[in-house]
Amino acid sequence: MTEQKLRIIPLGGLGEVGKNMMALEYANDIIIIDAGLMFPKQEMLGVDLVIPDISYLIERKTKLKGMIITHGHEDHIGALPYILRQLNLPIYSTKLTQGLISVKLKERRWKGKVTLKTIQPGAKFTLGCFGIEFFSVCHSIPDSVGLIIQTPIGIIIHSGDFKLDYTPVDGKTTNLNRLAQLEAQGVLLLLSDSTYSELRGYTPSERVVGETLDRIMTEAPGRVIIATFASLISRIQQVIDAAAKHQRRVFVTGRSMKDIVRMASELGYINIPPGILGNPNELHQLPRNQVVILATGSQGEPTSALVRIANRDHKQVHIVSGDTVVISATPIPGNEALVNRTVDNLFRQGAQVIYEKLEQVHVHGHGSQEELKLLLNLVKPKFFIPIHGEYRQLSLHAKLAENMGIPKNNIFVLEDGDVLELGRKTGKVVSKLPMGNIYVDGLVVSNLDNMVLRDRKVLSQDGIIAVTIVIDKKEGRLIGKPNIASRGFIDAKEGEALVEKGQDLLITALKQDQGHPTEREAINAKVRNVLAKFLYTETRRRPMIVPITIEV
C-alpha cells in the first residue's frame, strides 16, 4: 500500500511577492491559507490588481473545507471579494482581521453572504482531517497569527508574516513558548516568512520608532505632520501616546486613516485617551506646537492627504514655516519615485521633512536573518519551505536553513503552481499547475490575453497610426486619399509633413494594384509595410499601424 501524501500548493506569494495564497490537500480535504492581492508591476500596463489563479480549487470544489486568513493586510485578504464569487467558503480569522475583511468586502460592494468565524489564538478547530490552532505573532498589524496544523502525517507550522518583538506596543509577543512545546512532539514541516531574509541581524522593535517620535515632538517648533500606513495600528498608537505626552492634539486626515482609527478603537485595538483627538475646526485655533496631524499618503499615493498637502491642494492643511513632516514608512518597491516627489514638494513648501533615510522613523514588520534562524532552531522541523518572498529571498532563506543543518533534500524552494507531495519521510514536486496571472481591469476579471498587454506596451512607447482606405468594391479602385490618424506618435507639427508624405506613398503603392480587385488582407499588409518602413526611416520609431480597409 502506498502512503497517502499531503499536497502543498502555493497559489501566490512564492517567487513573487503579494497575492499570498496556499492550498493544503490531503485525501478528500483541502484548506486554503490567505487570499491576497498584488498591485500590478510596471509592465502590467493599465491593470488595477492581480489576484491568484484558483482554477485548481474550482475543479475540486467539493473538497474545500474553508479559508484561513493569517492577518488583515491587502496581500493576504485583498482577493477575497473576487474569490468569494467563485468559492463561497467560511473564513476563519482573528477579530481584527475579520473587521478588516468586512471593511474590504463593503468597499468592493460585496452583496452576497459570507460566513466569518472569529478564532482566538490558542483555540483549536477542525477542517476535514486538519486540526488547526492559531498562535500569536508580531507583525506590522495587530492580531496577526501563525498556524499550527495537525495533519494525518504530522505537525505543520506556518509562520504567517512575523517578526520577534519582545517589547511590542500591544504587549502581544510572538508565542515562542507554544512553538517550543511542539518541537518536543516533532514538527514535520515549517513554512516560514522570507520577506527580510536578505537582512542580517534582528529587526528593531516597534518601540524604537516611539522613541524617535518622542524626540521629534520635543524638538519640533511647530506642527508635526505624520504619514504612515493606515493599517499600522501600533504606529498610530505610538503617535497618539507621544502626542498625549507632549500636550499635542491629534487631527486625523485621509479617509482610510479615519476609517481604521474608528474601527480599531471600537474593537479595542487602539487606545485613545479622552480629549486627545481634535476636531477640524480647532485645527487653526490651537498654537502650532500643540498640533499633530496624522495623515495617509506615506506611499505618495496621488489622491492621499499628504500628497494634497505637498501640492498645496489640501483644504485644511497648508504647509507653513516651522512645520515638521514625518514619513513613518518605507516605500513599497515601485513607489520610490512617488514618495521622493512628495518629499521634494514638501521641502519646496518650506517644511522640514524627516524620512527613513534620515532618522529611524520606521521599522520593518518582518524578521531578519537572526529571527529566522531562531525560529528554525526552536522548531527543528524535518522539512522546510521558505514562503512569502521573491525567488532570491526564498533561496537565501533556504540557504540559512541548510547552514543550520536541515538536509538540502528536505528543503523545498517552491514557486507558485508547484505541487509538492509530502510524506513522512520524503517530499517531491510532482507537477506544476499552468498558472496565469488573473488581472482585475475595471470590471473585467480575466487572464487578459498577453496580446492586450503587449499592445498597450507598444502603444505606450510609440503610439498608433490608424489608416483608413476606402476601396471601390467592384473595381478595387482606391477612393479618395487614405485617411491617417495618429495618437501618441509625434508632435502635431512634425506629424503633419509625415502624414502627407505617407499618404502619397500609400497612393502610389496601392495604385499598382488598381483594376484587379485585391484581398483586403493583402491591402492591409501593404499599408502596414509601406508605412512602417517609411516611418522608421524618418523617425526611428515603430508606432502600431492599424489599417482599416472599407469597401463601398
Classify residue 522 by burial, with Cβ atoms within 10 Å: 0-12, 13-18, 19+. exposed
Site for its own copies in 3-22 (CB under 8 A): 15
Whether the CB-CB separation of 50 and 40 falls below 8 Å is answered with: yes
Single out the segment in contact with its own copies by CB under 8 A; choices: 89-97, 374-382, 430-438, 447-455. 447-455
Give the residue, chosen from 29, 45, 172, 286, that forms a contact with its own copies under the rule CB under 8 A. Answer: 45
- For 361, residues 6+ apart whose C-beta sits below 8 A from its C-beta are 209, 212, 213, 216, 326, 327, 328, 354, 355
242 three-state secondary structure: helix
What Å distances lie between residue 331 and 252, 341, 364, CA to CA? 21, 12, 11
Binding to its own copies by residue 489, rule CB under 8 A? yes
Binding to its own copies by residue 448, rule CB under 8 A? yes
In the complex with its own copies, the residue whose CB is nearer, 204 or 495, is 495
β-strands 389-390, 14-15 pairing: parallel
Given 193, 416, 418, 462, the catalytic residue: 193
How many binding residues for its own copies (CB under 8 A)? 69
214 is catalytic: no
513 is catalytic: no
Q: Apex CA 128: angle with CA 127 and CA 131, to 5°?
A: 55
Q: How many residues does the chain have?
A: 552
Supply the minimum distance, in Å, between the C-beta of residue 358 and its own copies: 6
Supply the minimum distance, in Å, between the C-beta of residue 47 and its own copies: 9
Single out the segment in contact with its own copies by CB under 8 A; choices: 5-13, 22-30, 67-75, 353-361. 353-361
Given 76, 314, 366, 397, the catalytic residue: 366
Binding to its own copies by residue 416, rule CB under 8 A? no
In the complex with its own copies, the residue whose CB is nearer, 150 or 539, is 539
In the complex with its own copies, the residue whose CB is nearer, 125 or 347, is 347
Single out the segment in contact with its own copies by CB under 8 A; choices: 221-229, 280-288, 465-473, 511-519. 465-473
Give the residue, chosen from 109, 185, 443, 474, that forms a contact with its own copies under the rule CB under 8 A. Answer: 443
Of 552, 441, 434, 465, which is closest to residue 53 (Cα–Cα)?
Answer: 434
DSSP label at 353?
E
Give the residue, chosen from 170, 214, 370, 390, that forms a contact with its own copies under the rule CB under 8 A. Answer: 390
Give the residue, chosen from 460, 475, 511, 522, that forms a contact with its own copies under the rule CB under 8 A. Answer: 460
Supply the minimum distance, in Å, between the C-beta of residue 141 and its own copies: 25
Give the residue, chosen from 29, 259, 402, 455, that forms a contact with its own copies under the rule CB under 8 A. Answer: 455
Binding to its own copies by residue 533, rule CB under 8 A? no
Whether the CB-CB separation of 145 and 73 falls below 8 Å is answered with: no
Q: Which x/- pattern over 310-339 shows residues binding its own copies (rule: CB under 8 A)?
A: -----------------------xx-xx--
Give the residue, chosen from 392, 425, 432, 501, that forms a contact with its own copies under the rule CB under 8 A. Answer: 392
Supply the minimum distance, in Å, between the C-beta of residue 217 and its own copies: 20
Amino acid identity of residue 441, one-letter, is: D
| Strand-pair partners of 50 | 38, 439
Binding to its own copies by residue 532, rule CB under 8 A? no
Give the residue, chosen from 7, 29, 41, 424, that forms a contact with its own copies under the rule CB under 8 A. Answer: 41
Supply the minimum distance, in Å, between the C-beta of residue 196 and its own copies: 10
Supply the minimum distance, in Å, between the C-beta of residue 485 and its own copies: 6
In the complex with its own copies, the residue whose CB is nearer, 284 or 348, is 348
Give the residue, chosen from 475, 494, 496, 500, that forms a contact with its own copies under the rule CB under 8 A. Answer: 494
Query: What number of CA atoms fall less than 13 Å from residue 493's CA on the CB side?
Result: 0
Determine which helix (DSSP H) or strand (DSSP E) holds 130, and give its type and residue range. strand 130-136
CA distance 18 to 547: 40
What Å distances lie between residue 160 and 38, 85, 146, 271, 533, CA to CA? 17, 25, 5, 26, 55
Give the residue, chosen from 1, 2, 42, 274, that forms a contact with its own copies under the rule CB under 8 A. Answer: 42
Task: Write down the residue that cell numbers 519521510 correspond to.
Answer: 425
DSSP label at 119?
-
Give the residue, chosen from 287, 434, 474, 492, that forms a contact with its own copies under the rule CB under 8 A. Answer: 492
Provide the H-helix boundaries in 5-58: 55-58
What Å distances lie between residue 329 and 21, 146, 163, CA to CA? 25, 24, 17
CA distance 372 to 384: 12
Whether the CB-CB separation of 277 and 257 falls below 8 Å is answered with: no
Give the residue, chosen from 11, 490, 499, 527, that forms a contact with its own copies under the rule CB under 8 A. Answer: 490
Q: Which x/- pattern over 177-206 shows residues binding its own copies (rule: CB under 8 A)?
A: ---------------------xx-------
CA distance 387 to 41: 20
CA distance 228 to 235: 8
Binding interface with its own copies (CB under 8 A): 15, 41-42, 45-46, 198-199, 333-334, 336-337, 340, 343-345, 347-348, 353, 357-358, 390-392, 395-396, 441-444, 446, 448-449, 451-453, 455-464, 466, 468, 470, 479-480, 483, 485, 487-494, 538-541, 544, 546, 548, 550, 552
Catalytic residue numbers read 193, 366
